[in-house]
Structures are given as structure tokens and as C-alpha cells.
Amino acid sequence: MSRSDAIGPAYDSEDLEIREMELEDIHRVFSLGEQLFTADKWPSLYRTWDEYELVGLFASDGDFCFVADLDGRIAGFALGTLIEKRRSAWKYGYLLWIGTDPAFRRLGIARRLVDRFTQQCIDEGARMMMVDTAAENEGAIRFFRQQGYGKAVRHVYMSRNLTNLPSYKRRRREG
């Protein structure tokens, strides 16, 4: 079976529309994100993929939330924000989440989503864009490097198990 057979009719770039996410898209974007950002694949993901994250981004930064729509099917999404620091002329675009339906990978959809997000950042006056990913996510790192991102900085992620603390045990007994 060829790749185009697996996803139905051959993918035509003219059939794909990169557009701002709409309210009606939220449940489909959320569902795709649940498939992609799971705790078993990314146990140390410091942001949590949940409905609050998605709805919050849509409500506060809807101009920076995009979907790849392929004949009514959400093939991917890019969600981000614009950061404006006080007392600074610089604005930063920050791509928080990007995902592509596994059936549509390696077809240029993520690149087109990043391109659209980048253009929105430029239109809003951003001078720089940032992304982050897990250090072990070699595919994402390779992808972002191909898109022109560099200066990778390792981020230290630490955790602490609170279940061994006396106050946690006390709370459990009282609850």
C-alpha cells in the first residue's frame, strides 16, 4: 500500500488550507493532541496537553492558533503566542505546540504550519521566534533545525515526588 493509499486520495497541496483555528476545531485539535502528546511517549513534558491549555491559548492568542485543514479533516495544528517584555522593544513569537496527524506526516504540513505561524509573528512585529522540545525528541530537533532554528540551549527539567513528605501523607489521611 502506498502512502497516498493509506490516507485516501493522493494529497494535493491545493487541497490543504492553513487557517486560523475556529471554535468548531477545538475538539478535533484536542483529540489529535491527545494522540500525540501522551505521558508514555513524553513522561517529562513540562507542559500538560489538556483542554485548559488548548482553550486558554485559543481564548488569549487565537491569532496565533492555526490548523491544517485537508478537505474538512484536521491534519495538523500549530499553537503559540506573542511575548512582549516590559521595557523592551522586542516581541517574541513562541510556538508552544505543533502536531501533525501521523497519517499525514512527511508531506510538508508541519513546515507550512510553521511558515504561517512565522508570518503571523512578523505581521505582529516579532523580531524573534522560539520553540522548545524535549532533548530526546530528535525528530523535532531535526525538523526545527531544517526550518532555520538554532542556538539550542539545554533546559534542565527537575521533579520532586511529594508523596513521601509528611504533609502529603497527613493530607491523604485527613481526606
Domain boundaries, the chain: 3-174
For the cut 90, the answer to whether the pLDDT of residue 63 exceeds it is yes
Q: In terms of CATH architecture, what is 3-174?
A: 3-Layer(aba) Sandwich (3.40)
For the cut 90, the answer to whether the pLDDT of residue 162 exceeds it is no
Stretch 111-130: mean pLDDT: 94
Angle at 46 between CA 45 and CA 51, to 5 degrees: 85
Q: What percent of the chain has pLDDT over 90?
A: 50
Q: What percent of the chain has pLDDT over 70?
A: 83
Question: What's the whole-model pTM score?
Answer: 0.78
Compute the mean pLDDT over every residue in the chain, rounded to the nearest whole number.
84
